[in-house]
Amino acid sequence: MSTTTPGGGLYSASKAALDHVTLTFAAENEAITAYAVDPGDMRTDMHQRWFPGEDISDRPLPETVVPRLLGLLERRPPSGRYRAADVPAVRDDVEAGV
């Protein structure tokens, strides 16, 4: 994402602030676990608006990231910042509700 895109700077700053608030909250409250998650680039309307004229069809659809977020919740690692691409996806039987 480019900070030269109108609103890009504020968007990036707010994401960074949310990461820091999440990690600070977890550090100051040992009874809870908190995750800041970077879902990575996705094929969304917002992403396309930020890269007009570019083909973003190689980016994953948002729904393909959800199994990784569920995998994070299933595994319950320590509080921290995680990249969705680094988290193993939830098992198929769990995803299907079996």
- pLDDT of residue 75 exceeding 80, the answer is yes
More confident residue, 8 or 48: 48
More confident residue, 51 or 25: 25
Q: What is the C-alpha separation between 15 and 36, in angstroms, rounded?
A: 9
Backbone angle region of 97, left / alpha / beta, with phi > 0 → left and psi within -120 to 50 → alpha: left
pLDDT band at 9 (very low <50, low <70, confident <90, very high): confident
The separation between CA 15 and the C-alpha centre of its own chain, rounded to angstroms, equals 10
How far from each other are the two terminal CA atoms of the chain, in whole angstroms? 38
pLDDT at 95: 43
Identify the H or E element spanning 26.
helix 8-28
- pLDDT of residue 94 exceeding 90, the answer is no
In one-letter notation, the amino acid at residue 64 is T
- pLDDT of residue 15 exceeding 50, the answer is yes
Q: From start to end of the chain, where are the E strands?
A: 35-38, 80-83
